[in-house]
Amino acid sequence: MYKYQYQTPSRRGRSLEYHDTSLDVDCLSSMLTRKAQRLLFCMSVVAVFMLVVYIPLMIRHAHRSTTHSVCGSKADCDRRREIDRREAVRSKLMQQFDVKKFDIRENETDEIHLFTKKLWHFRRAEAERVYLYQRILTSEWTMNKRNLRRMSYELRNHSNIDAADFVISQTSSASNSTLDYYIFPKALVKTDSYYRYHMNDGLFGKLPEISPFREKLYDRCSVVGNSGILLDSQCGDDIDKSDFTFRCNIAPIAPFRKDAGSKSNLTTMNPSIFHKRFGELKTTQDMYDFLGNVTEYNGYIWLPCFAAYHLNEICLKAFHNFNISSPTAVLANPDHFVKILNFWRERNHTKLLSSGFYITHVALQMCKEVHLYGFWPFPVSVSEDKLKEQPCHYFNDEPFTRSHNMDDEFRLLFQMHQHGVLKMHVGKCGSDASKDRRKGSEEILEVPKDRTKSDALLRQEILSKT
């Protein structure tokens, strides 16, 4: 124990009074240490807050202020960022298609190089592949009714796939039945309703008694995709000559009639469009906008409400409020989609099918002759004189996405084209329509007028012709 003295001035006089005070120096040192630790801790918290939160916010705010001062309002800046993002995607895709003409010396006369000027210098395999695809698809095509019939027969006999069942009817389901979903997002809670939908009397009563496509067989059908290759194709008249036209995902047709046609008998609609274009149908105005938009189409609007649990509620809301006279809303049958999906999974195509690829299989069973337009998954097309960039869609400038394996689907459709099962149009319709030779030889099996002919008789006919 240490003792020391300190003096304090007396209030009674000028003299100083001395007091003896005994203090525990160890205790004082401990108190000072605790105070220093608390002070150091507070300073550390403030420093961390400044480094982690405050300074980055100030830098971001300064960056936004600088950016806004350059590009204007926040909406303009967001639009600019979206344009930059799409340009980056486009540039990355275009790197795969480095195509140039041979460099001909300018001092040589044109007569010497009349032929070699038409040749391309392919520095990347992707560009050469696109060039070959387009050259083959715009060449002469011959329909092979035997192969078409075999494809239809194979589909029909795989799990008893019938084209008419691609919509739900009271005949194909029951009031207390369940429908299994086939898309399962990882974020949702996995309950019973996550996997399947339980049919109720209210919905069952709104279903057609039988499929509106039962006993239907059309001479010529067109399946219209949304690829940008339709632009300047002048295929509108060719599409409208079809007996039945399938369209995909309610793509606008009025401003593009010259290239995409105007006829529509069945139009598919992905439920995600409700989120992108119609405000998730939260207000009455959103519903009016949706119903006003679909009046552009005739025939049927095909709604896959049972693809996934998270899409079901908003899609059925649209179906129950579909109170317009034309077109008519029908519900997609998930069981039929899964059968087509499993058909290709058994053939090593495991990716989720796109609506265009799926509806093509419906057309192959409902039609004697199938023509595809707007099926081109590449951002470029190669003509004889130039390399032309193609947007993903003919009606907007959205970048290419990889939700589906479009390349694999295109390869399968390309081979069907090669075997005469269907006809793919990728050029100007006026230039390649005259090259189609649809008359087969006597050995080609004719498609019967009655599509419901028994499978036994169909098998006998096919085997007798092979």
- 27-41, 134-148, 178-192, 213-227: lowest mean pLDDT where? 27-41
Q: What is the pLDDT of residues 363-391, one digit of tens each?
A: 999 999 999 999 998 888 876 666 778 88
Give mean pLDDT, residues 65-78: 64
The verdict on domain 140-465 having CATH code 3.90.1480.20 is: yes
Q: Are 369 and 220 in contact (CB under 8 A)?
A: yes
Peptide bond into 327 cis (omega under 30): yes
Query: How many percent of the chain have pLDDT more than 90?
Result: 46
Give mean pLDDT, residues 236-256: 94
Q: Are 377 and 407 in contact (CB under 8 A)?
A: yes
How many other C-beta atoms lie within 10 A of the C-beta of residue 247?
Answer: 30
CA 320, chain centre distance (Å): 25
For every residue of 33-79, DSSP letters joined together read HHHHHHHHHHHHHHHHHIIIIIHHHHHHHHHHHHHHHHH-SHHHHHH
Q: What is the pLDDT of residues 274-331, one digit of tens each?
A: 988 899 999 999 999 999 999 999 999 999 999 999 999 999 999 999 999 899 999 9
Q: What is the pLDDT of residues 193-217, one digit of tens each?
A: 899 999 999 999 999 999 999 989 9
Alpha-carbon separation of residue 20 from 5, 6, 7, 29 (angstroms): 5, 7, 9, 20
Say how far apart CA 160 and CA 455 lie, in whole Å. 10
Mean pLDDT across the chain, nearest whole number? 81
Alpha-carbon separation of residue 291 from 147, 296, 320, 451 (angstroms): 41, 10, 12, 35
And the tokens for 442?
A: 């006597």
Say how far apart CA 121 and CA 194 lie, in whole Å. 53
| pTM, rounded to two decimals | 0.74
Say how far apart CA 182 and CA 338 lie, in whole Å. 7
Alpha-carbon separation of residue 53 from 47, 50, 60, 65, 233 (angstroms): 10, 6, 11, 18, 55
Beta strands in 98-171 (DSSP E): 99-101, 120-122, 141-142
The candidate with the shortest Cα–Cα distance to 137, out of 425, 377, 386, 364, is: 425
- With vertex at residue 359, the alpha carbon angle to CA 357 and CA 360, rounded to the nearest 5 degrees, is 65
Please state whether beta strands 218-224 and 367-373 pair in parallel, antiparallel, or not at all (unpaired).
parallel
